């Protein structure tokens, strides 16, 4: 066999390998979790935040999904709306929206928060019409007054109903207010708290998977 023929065979093998590599990566689906410090895992390593535990659960079941942690500490709904176009440059199959907590802490008008979150939902739906969107709700602190906290809570229910989305009413369900599950600031979950969040969120996510 001459050198030219050997070279052709090597190229053919290399191209075949690249095609197989592309095919495998194309089969892996993306779950993008877009949020604030809760998603980012404030005060912890990224591997200790709930998106990492969602990935562990998926891997343990042999599912072909990659979880992307797109959390940014301090992010408001307005900041998320400005950031979403950049995030959507990567493909996604499932989009989990966890934003609004910082709006509530700052007393931002709930109508503005709702408008911003709707803008994010619209952008995701426009670019990836086949993607599943899961919305997580948040509670405003009680010192904002009953009228504000009620309106703030209801905006998430309205968004879920108006957009026909899977809805987790409170991302900090069974975590908020528990000293053992929160860091010293009483706001951000500990690693143990993130494990609880992941377990609760899984109950909504598995319906899509």
CA 64 from centroid of its chain's CA atoms: 17
- Other Cβ atoms less than 10 A from the Cβ of 73: the count is 15
Report, as residue numbers or ranges, the catalytic residues: 37, 185, 188
Mean pLDDT of the chain: 90
**Three-class SS of residue 141?**
coil
Q: Is the pLDDT of residue 27 over 70?
A: no
Assess contact for 139 and 152: CB atoms under 8 A. Answer: yes
Q: What local confidence, expressed as pLDDT, does residue 28 receive?
A: 86
Q: What local confidence, expressed as pLDDT, does residue 5 receive?
A: 42
DSSP class of residue 67 equals: E
> Cα-flanking dihedrals φ and ψ of residue 148, to 5°?
-65, -45
For the residues of 80-128, what is the DSSP string, one character each?
A: HHHHHHHHTTS--SEEEEE--HHHHHHT--HHHHHHHHHHHHHHHHHH-
Kindly tell me the burial class for residue 123, based on how many C-beta atoms sit within 10 Å of its own C-beta (0-12, 13-18, 19 or more).
middle
> What are 33's two structure tokens?
């979790």
83-141 pLDDT per residue, tens: 999 999 999 999 999 999 999 999 999 999 999 999 999 999 999 999 999 999 999 99
Q: Is the pLDDT of residue 15 over 90?
A: no
- Please report, for the chain, the start and end positions of each structural domain, with discontinuous segments joined by +: 28-208
Q: Number of C-alpha atoms within 13 angstroms, CB side, residue 61?
A: 13
> Cα-flanking dihedrals φ and ψ of residue 141, to 5°?
-65, 145
Q: What is the pTM of this model?
A: 0.87
Q: Identify the CATH class of 28-208.
A: alpha beta
180-193 pLDDT per residue, tens: 999 999 999 999 99
Q: Is the pLDDT of residue 2 over 70?
A: no
């Amino acid at each position: 066999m001459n050198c030219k023929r050997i070279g052709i065979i090597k190229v053919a093998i290399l191209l075949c390998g690249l095609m197989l590599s592309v095919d495998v990566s194309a089969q892996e689906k993306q779950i993008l979790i877009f949020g604030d410090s809760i998603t980012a895992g404030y005060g912890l390593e990224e591997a200790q935040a709930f998106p990492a535990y969602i990935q562990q659960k998926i891997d343990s079941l042999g599912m072909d999904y990659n979880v992307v942690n797109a959390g940014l500490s301090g992010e408001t709904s307005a900041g998320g709306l400005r950031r979403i176009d950049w995030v959507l440059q990567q493909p996604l199959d499932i989009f989990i929206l966890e934003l609004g907590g910082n709006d509530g802490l700052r007393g931002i008008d709930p109508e503005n928060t709702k408008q911003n979150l709707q803008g994010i939902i619209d952008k995701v739906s426009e670019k990836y019409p086949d993607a599943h969107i899961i919305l997580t709700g948040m509670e405003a602190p009680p010192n904002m007054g009953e009228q504000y906290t009620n309106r703030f809570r209801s905006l998430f229910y309205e968004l879920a109903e108006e957009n026909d989305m899977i809805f987790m009413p409170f991302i900090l369900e069974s975590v908020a207010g528990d000293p053992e599950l929160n860091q010293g600031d009483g706001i951000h979950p500990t690693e143990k708290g993130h494990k609880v969040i992941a377990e609760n969120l899984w109950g909504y996510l598995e319906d899509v998977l």
